[in-house]
Structures are given as structure tokens and as C-alpha cells.
Amino acid sequence: MRTFLLSIALFISAVCAAQVPSVTVENAKGEAFDTKTLLEEGTPMIISFWSTSCKPCIRELDAVYDALPDWLEEADFRVVAVSTDDSRLLAKAKSFAQGRGWGEDFQLLFDKNQDFMRAMNVSVVPHVFVVDGKGKVVYSHTSYVPGNEIELFEAIKKCSK
Amino acid sequence: MKRFILVISLVSASLALAAQENGYVTGSFETNNHLYVDDQVNDFVSDEDRIGSNNYLKVDYYNGNFSAGMQLESYLPAQIGFPEELSKYALSNLYVNWKDDAFQVTAGTFYDQFGSGLLFRSWEDRLLGLNNALMGARFAYNWEDKVAFKAIWGMPRLGMEFTDTQVRGADLSISLSNIIGLDDILLSVEGSLLNKYAKIGIDAEEAGGKPNSLGFSGRLNFDWNGFFAKGEYVDLGKKLVALETKHGNAQLLELGYNGRGLGVTMTGRRLEWMGQNILANSTSSANLMSYVPAMSTQYTYMLTTLHPYNPQVGDASTMAFNSGEIGGQIDAFYNFRRGTAIGGKRGMKVHANFSTYYTLAQEGTAQAGNLLFRDFSFDVERQWTKEFKMVLLYSLQEYNPGYGQYKTTWLSNIFVADLLYKWTSQLSTRLELQYLKTYEDKKDWMAALLEVNFAPHWSVWGSDMYNHGMTKKHYYNFGVSYAKGRTRVALGYGRYKDGFICSGGVCRSIPQYTGANFTVTTSF
């Protein structure tokens, strides 16, 4: 039993070091985009996985969009919105994001065969990650109810200190 | 049990030790469980098992350019309405992968798609019980974002096993704009080839069918200052459908503009004999090797999803003979900015969609036949105050109950109000009120949903969908969920009507049932 507990402890210590893997997705223009380049700026970021048919996802990104001017006064970070819509809704997702104004403030990525979603082990959307300036995932949350964005902001504030 | 603990210890320890040198382990776990309850009103009698349990454990290891992973699945047994070949358990995915800026090599299971997926797509959708991952190898090369090449080989999965069907393919993408050095323009030409070897029956062989088939696609992508155009031609070659030789082909065109708070997308598509299966003799809803989605709005409100559109890829096996479909849609999104006369203090978002699809009147042509599906929807979203947000939706849906066999269509008018109120920074309620007006099918419906959210963890909901036009049946659903960090636990109970579960426009039919459900999703 001691061996078992030790192995689990070792496993958990390895799990705690999760990062952003290199996966090819699309940017808003339709060009190939390697997700590892997200880390090049070295600033903290929120990565939010969403889809056009997921209402809580849209409410969460709208809440972040509305609060962003105030948040940026207190912390230095970026928001990356990753659409998991497949080719049925890919073009619509791009128009949708523009129609909500997200394109001006968020970095938009499109993961049409859910490769990035799988690599980040996202089972259901919405799912947000906070990644620090060194590329390490320091906070993660699945699902959204109004008010969850407060916890998200606390997490981004901690790593932009 | 000792042996199980030993295996878990060994796997955990080896993954952890492997992770010490800059590597890390990540994974997810999902369990969806139903307990079925007999319900005379719903004409539902549960079988002996009374339960359905779908479970997934996924673990990945990353170290620099290297990654490896596995997925364990169990169906003990599968939930009602899932493909029947999903049963017991299997180590379904197992892969190693190496990727740098230029090269990627994968061995084992992998997912991929060519273009829009009309020619080939392998993907996982747990809602549909679909996982057609390829077991084989993939090689990809990217030359400075100018030329990208990909070659694949593998055997697609159906149910719990990998089939003996073989798929070989190659995909080439040339970015002319990057080669010429045009910064503001995206212009690329792409093409794919796909060879499939699948066993066929003696009847098919005698009718001239061949186990080998060769398909190809050509694509053009253009984007300039927000204006975009995409074109795709797909050719599946000659194929045998109900012992007759047919020519599978499709054309897809997308045009639009995105910018300055406006997003407009127009899509046109023609399909002819585009069904592409893994096995010739399987009727499973997961027997798919390509992705032919419904190019129409994906509704989410209860009464708007009663009759989702299922695209006609060509069907000679039923009375509703059709060789395919032709149609299109237009979507427009606009954001009235804050501080404008219409936008008011907090802005207003509007969206309109129109789509229409017809059978092919004659094979080999683009002539429209009977109407299959048509819808128009308009929704407006406004944040009236800091606390109150409102969404109003109107949807007009017309569909052909005979899947194009006759001219008869049924028409519904659907009205939805979605009202969100934040009482405090942590307490909010959301109320949905819906009404469906129709003179056909089961006549009128009404529905309501109330959701009470206690941020950051709890959510409680209850809903009822009532057919007051004919059957007088209630379809209720209530539950509670708790979410903390990466984990969400939900418990619910409800009566569900028969219909279709659709994801991305691919649908599986489900029978009516009543019962409790318990779901846990987590990741690490």
C-alpha cells in the first residue's frame, strides 16, 4: 500500500506541471497556427474553449469581454478564445465572434477537429485555463455560472504579480 | 485487487518518473450513468439491466516534442440509444507522437481530417457514441508555412474494435500568398487523395463492385481584409449503391465578410451519393468515415430541436429514394456598439439565419427537387441593466416528414424568451419560456426552464416541455450540479421523448426513456 501511495504522489507531482502543448489549429484568417507560439510573448493568458452552440461558454466570454477594460488596469494578460466548432460551424464561429466584438480584444483560434481540446484534456466546454508567463497551467475550471469570472480574475491577478 | 493496485502503481510511477525530465502527465475522466425507471405515460419499460454506464479515462504524457497517450473506455452496458456495438471495455486509443516546427510523426491511434471532412474525417464524439480513430501511422511535413504535406495510413475503429478496412491518404496545402510574400492576403490551394479498401459481399462483387475505391478533393481558400471565400470539390469516384454504380461527388462554397462588429457567412452545398462508410454491411450510426454535416443553424433551445435537419447524402435503400441534396444558408451577426442610438448603454447583438435544402431532382444535375428543410431565425440579445440580460428568438422551421419522397412539408413557428437576472454577484436565475405553434404533427407545444445558480459551485434547474396540442404529455427534467476547478458533478431525473441526438449535424435516433442520470467529468 505504501508503494501505491508513493506512486500516486509521484503521479500527482507530475500532473501539477501541465503546460500548453504544441498543436496546429487555425487563426481567424484561416492560416495554420502552432499553439506553442502562444507562449512566446511570456505574459499570462486566459485560454477559453467555447463553441457557438454552448450558451454558458458565450456568457462566460461575454462576461470577460465586458470586464476586460477594468481587469487590464489591474493585471497584464491576454485572452485566447478557442472555438471547438467543427467544419459545419467553423465559418459561422468566425462571424459569430466578430458579431460580438470579441475579435477586437481576444486572440481567436479555431480548433476544427478538436486536436487542441483533446491535447488539453477538455471533455466538455466551457473550460478555461489560466497560464502563467512561463507557460505553466496554474488554474483551470470547467462549466460556467454567472459570477465564476470573479474566481477567474483572482487567478489571473495572482500570476501577473 | 492486489494485481490491479500493482498495475496502477507501476503505471503511475513510470509516468511520474518519465515526467521528471521536463515532461508532464495530463488526463481526463468522464462517467455518464443512467438508471432507467418504468414509465407507462412515456410508454417506456426498462430492460433487465436498468442501467446504462458510459465511461472514459484518457491519459497523455508530454515531454518536449514527444507525446504518448491512451484512452480506456467502458460501457457497462451502453446507455440506451447508443450504437449497440459499444459494450464492455477496451483500451481504445494508444499512440506515440513526435512533433517539431517542421515534422510530425504519429504511430498508433490518431484523428485527422482533410479539408472540411467531406472526403475524410476521423473524430470522437461521445454524445453520438462515435469514435472512428485510425490505428496506423501519420507523417506530416510543414515547410515554413508555405507548403504542408500529410500522409496517413490506418484502420478505422468501429465500436470497440479496429476494423480490417484500410485507409490510405495524402493531403497537400500550398500557400501561394506566403510563397509570393503577400502579408495582407491569404491564398492557398489544397488537394487530397484517399484510397479505401473495404471488403464487399458476393452480391456487390457480381454487380461490379470493387473493394478498392479512390477519392480526391481540391480546395481553394482566400481571405483579404475580412472578406473570405472557400471552395471545395470532392469526388468519391464510382461506388456501388444498392447494387447500382453511382458517382459520389460534392461541391461546397463559402463566402463572407468578418469585421467591424459584422459577420456574414453564405454557404452553398450540393451533395450526390456522398455516404462513405467504414464497413459495407454495418447499419450502425457510427459507421462513418467522412463528415457530412447539416449546414444550417444548430439550435439549442428545447422546442427548436424537435426536428433537427439531417442532411441527405444519397439513399437508395429506403422508400425515400434520393440521390442527395442541394441548398444553402446565410448567417448574419451584428453588434450594435455601446453608446450608439440602438446599442444603448450596454450594446445589443442581433443575428439572422436563413437556410433552405432540396432533394436533387435528377442525378448528375444541380436541379432542385422537393423541399427537404427550410428555416428562418432571428434573435436579439440585449443587456438592459447590469443585472438583467434578455435574449428573444423567433424561428420558422419547415421540414419534409417523408425525407423528400413527397412534396408535403410541416411548418412550425417557435418563440423563445431567455431571461437572465443577477440578484447578487453570486446568485443568478435564468428563465426560458418557449412556445411552438403548428397545425401539423403533434400540434402545439410549450416549455419552460428555470435555472438557479449559486456561483461559484452550485446550479439547480427544472424544466418541463408539454405537448398541449395532442398527446397532453409532460417531458420534465430537474437536477443539480456542483463544479469546482476541473471537476463537475451533476445529478438529474427526467422523462425524455424519442427523437434525435445531434452533434455537429450528425444525428443518432434515441427512443423515449425515463430515469435518473449521474455525470462526473474531471481532468488533471
| Element at A157 (helix H, strand E) | helix A148-159
In a domain, B25, yes or no: no
DSSP string of B229-283?
Answer: EEEEEEEEEEEEETTEEEEEEEEEEEEEEEETTEEEEEEEEEEES----SSTT--
pLDDT of B1 reads: 44
In a domain, B460, yes or no: yes
A55 contact residues in B (CB cutoff 8 A): 300
Query: How many interface pairs between A and B have CB atoms less than 8 angstroms apart?
Result: 226
pLDDT of B234 reads: 98
Digit-coded pLDDT (tens) for A49-65: 999 989 999 999 999 99
CA-only gyration radius of chain B, Å: 25
% of chain B exceeding 90 in pLDDT: 74
DSSP string of B42-60?
Answer: TTB---TT-EEEEEEEEEE
Say if residues B478 and B516 touch (Cβ distance below 8 Å): no
Same domain, B283 and B329: no
Domain count, chain B: 2
Taking the Cβ of residue B469 and every Cβ of chain A, the question of whether any pair is shorter than 8 Å is answered with no
B267 contact residues in A (CB cutoff 8 A): 91
Angle at B92 between CA B34 and CA B75, to 5 degrees: 20
Enclosing domain of residue B423: 294-481
Inter-chain contact B16–A14, Cβ cutoff 8 Å?
Answer: yes
CATH code: domain of residue B298 = 2.40.160
Q: Omega of the bond prior to B456 within 30 degrees of 0, cis?
A: yes
In a domain, B442, yes or no: yes
In a domain, B278, yes or no: yes
Other CB atoms within 10 Å distance of the CB of residue B225: 10
Which segments of A16-111 does DSSP mark as H helices, in order?
Answer: 55-74, 90-99, 102-105
Taking the Cβ of residue A42 and every Cβ of chain B, the question of whether any pair is shorter than 8 Å is answered with no
Q: Which residues contact B517 (CB under 8 A, 6 or more apart)?
A: B32, B33, B34, B35, B479, B490, B491, B492, B493, B494
Same domain, B366 and B425: yes
pLDDT of B13 reads: 54
- The neighbouring-strand residues paired with B140 are B104, B150
Same domain, B266 and B300: no
To test the contact with chain B by mutation, choose from A145, A149, A152, A153 the residue with the greatest count of B C-beta atoms within 10 A, namely A145
Amino acid, res. B281: N
DSSP string of B79-131?
Answer: PTTS-TT--EEEEEEEEEEEE-SSEEEEEEEE-EEETTTTSEEE-EETTTTEE
* B312 closest CA partner among B297, B326, B328: B326
Query: Which positions 121-140 of A are in contact with B (Cβ < 8 Å)?
Result: 121-124, 127, 139-140
- What cell numbers appear for A74 in the block? 489591474
Same domain, B312 and B283: no
- What cell numbers appear for B286 in the block? 457510427
Digit-coded pLDDT (tens) for A119-151: 999 998 999 999 999 889 999 999 999 999 999
Say if residues B55 and B76 touch (Cβ distance below 8 Å): yes
Taking the Cβ of residue A37 and every Cβ of chain B, the question of whether any pair is shorter than 8 Å is answered with no
Same domain, B316 and B258: no
ipTM value, please give it: 0.91
Placement of cell 463528415 in the chain = B291
Our CA-based measurement puts residue A47 at a distance from the nearest CA of chain B, in whole angstroms, of 14
Same domain, B421 and B273: no
* B227 closest CA partner among B267, B268, B188, B185: B185
Same domain, B360 and B262: no
Residue B189 main-chain phi, psi, to 5 deg: -115, 140
Inter-chain contact A121–B27, Cβ cutoff 8 Å?
Answer: yes
- The residue ranges of chain B whose pLDDT is under 50 are 1, 3-4, 7
Same domain, B236 and B134: yes
Same domain, B233 and B90: yes
Placement of cell 491569404 in the chain = B186
In a domain, B9, yes or no: no
Same domain, B113 and B220: yes
B228 contact residues in A (CB cutoff 8 A): 30, 91, 94
* B221 closest CA partner among A26, A135, A150, A24: A26
pTM given for the model: 0.92
Q: DSSP character for B322?
A: B
Our CA-based measurement puts residue A76 at a distance from the nearest CA of chain B, in whole angstroms, of 23
- What cell numbers appear for B104 in the block? 510530425
pLDDT of B351 reads: 96
Placement of cell 488526463 in the chain = B27
Inter-chain contact A98–B254, Cβ cutoff 8 Å?
Answer: no
Same domain, B283 and B310: no
> Which of these three, B268, B290, B312, is where a domain ends?
B290
> Which of these three, B260, B290, B320, is where a domain ends?
B290
DSSP string of B123-182?
Answer: -EETTTTEE--EEEEEEEEEETTTEEEEEEEEEEEETTEE-S-EEEEEEEEEEHHHHHT-
Digit-coded pLDDT (tens) for A87-117: 989 999 999 998 888 988 999 999 999 999 9
To test the contact with chain A by mutation, choose from B3, B25, B59, B487 the residue with the greatest count of A C-beta atoms within 10 A, namely B25
- What cell numbers appear for B450 in the block? 428555470
In a domain, B47, yes or no: no
Q: Is the model's pLDDT at A4 over the cut of 70?
A: no
B9 contact residues in A (CB cutoff 8 A): 3-4, 7-8
Nearest CA in chain A to B254: A91
**Alpha-carbon distances of A90 from B140, B157, B518, rounded to whole Å:** 23, 26, 32
pLDDT of B338 reads: 85
To test the contact with chain A by mutation, choose from B258, B266, B459, B489 the residue with the greatest count of A C-beta atoms within 10 A, namely B258
In a domain, B345, yes or no: yes
**Helix and strand counts by DSSP (H, E) for chain A:** 6, 7
Inter-chain contact B142–A32, Cβ cutoff 8 Å?
Answer: yes
> Which of these three, B231, B263, B290, is where a domain ends?
B290
Same domain, B306 and B417: yes
To test the contact with chain A by mutation, choose from B254, B333, B480, B502 the residue with the greatest count of A C-beta atoms within 10 A, namely B333
Q: How far apart are CA B217 and CA B215, in angstroms?
A: 7
Say if residues B451 and B488 touch (Cβ distance below 8 Å): no
Nearest CA in chain A to B16: A11
